[in-house]
Copies of this chain bind each other. A is one copy, B any other.
């Protein structure tokens, strides 16, 4: 199965803002922003059910905030920082700078 990702040109501001407006999703983005390599879905210490987490990852991917790549039975997630910076300059940095620092531990 190929996962759909919007192109840079297809990124929509409203969808990105919506994706970032949930505390859990914001925590995921903060965690990925600090990662050097893609992270497995199972490697997030979220206090929600697996299906809720899967939903959050899908919202982030469909908005173009993260990239998900399948490898075997795992899905690896990474932040589309370059794409977001290209389409919406300064937005991700402003959000990450404003995000509650207590929320980083995911």
Contacts and interface: CB of A to CB of B under 8 A. Distances in A.
A91 B87 contact: no
Contacts of A88: 94, 97-98
A33 B79 CA distance: 30
Interface string A15-51: 1011011110010000000000000000000000000
A80 to B, nearest CB: 15
A98 B12 CA distance: 9
Interface residues on A, range: 20 to 34
A90 interface: yes
Interface of A: 13-15, 17-18, 20-23, 26, 87-91, 93-95, 97-100
